[in-house]
Amino acid sequence: MKLKKIVLTGAAGRLGGYLRAPLAAKCTELVSTDIAPLTEPLIEGERFIQADLADYAKMAELIEGAEMVVHFGGHPDEKPFDDILHANIIGCYNVWQAAHKAGVRRIVYASSIHAVGLHPKTQAIHAETPHRPDSFYGLAKCFAEDMAKLYWDKKGLEAVCLRILSCAHVTNLRALGSWLSYDDLIHLVERSVDTPVTGFTVIYGVSNNDRAPVDNSAATYLGYCPRDNAEIFADQIFADAPMPNPRDPDQMMHGGPFATTDLGESGVAKLGLSPDDT
């Protein structure tokens, strides 16, 4: 059965762009929102409202009547604290508080590996791994996950926190483990919306990679069965990538280059993303 209304934040962004059509197919009305204008045409059943996540009144207005919010808006990289505070902390609070007031059933949230980025890769991480952020960006993801837990515990607002590792083309050694393909991202979000009851759930957003460094066994009831495997890129990556320095913490921390990036400075800039992902 279709949902009545879903709100998608970050709809003008890279990942949001992949989610608009699959989400529109799941509801009668998809309300897409972003601070940036939408450059692609609207999909049938979709309405776009340009808004700042930090504007509570606007968030409350557009979330009214929604059954679910898929929250992908905000900065996807390390930034000076004030920027993170505005979009990623105040913005998240506004989404949760407005959703609670509107009687929303569930929020599906784009969290990140950077909430636990300073754990070494020699420790497999799972849903209960303690927060250990590698940046202000990761710290804001910790805040949002804890807030999600609080609103579940106190208000019964469900949340599925997707700790996405790296949803971009495979261009480096780390991505052989951390890759989340766009198809698997869509499948993960669809399962997070479709599963009848989720309570508060944390799941890592990663494809079926041989080298995936995480344990998703606590969230099997979501039925997330990723199909893609970054191993198909391994020969090419090993042929192209320079031999890494084994003492470089970027190589051995879950957060990759965010591990040594200074607070407030971009970690994504060190990832060497494909132009298709920037």
Rounded to 5 degrees, what are φ and ψ at 161? Answer: -95, 115
DSSP for 147-186 reads: HHHHHHHHH--EEEEEEE-B-S---STTHHHHB--HHHHH
Nearest residue (CB) to ligand NAD, 168 versus 173: 168
CA pair distance 67, 54, nearest whole angstrom:
21
Nearest residue (CB) to ligand NAD, 137 versus 152: 137
Short-list 163, 194, 238, 278, CA closest to 22: 194
Whether 137 is a known active-site residue: answer yes
Nearest residue (CB) to ligand NAD, 18 versus 200: 18
Confirm if 7 and 28 have CB atoms less than 8 A apart. Answer: no
Residue whose beta carbon is closest to ligand NAD: 13
CB of 90 to ligand NAD, least distance (A): 9
- β-strand pairing of 46-50 with 27-34: parallel
CB of 72 to ligand NAD, least distance (A): 4
CB of 112 to ligand NAD, least distance (A): 4
Query: Footprint of ligand NAD on this chain (CB under 6 A)?
Result: 10, 12-16, 34-36, 52-54, 72-76, 87, 91, 110, 112, 164, 166-168
CB of 221 to ligand NAD, least distance (A): 23
CA pair distance 79, 269, nearest whole angstrom:
12
CB of 277 to ligand NAD, least distance (A): 7
Nearest residue (CB) to ligand NAD, 157 versus 271: 271
Angle at 200 between CA 120 and CA 53, to 5 degrees: 85
- β-strand pairing of 3-9 with 46-50: unpaired
CA pair distance 255, 177, nearest whole angstrom:
12
Nearest residue (CB) to ligand NAD, 26 versus 254: 254
18, 56, 137, 182: the active-site residue: 137
CA pair distance 137, 266, nearest whole angstrom:
10
Query: What would the two tokens of residue 181 be?
Result: 């393909």
Name the residues annotated as catalytic: 137
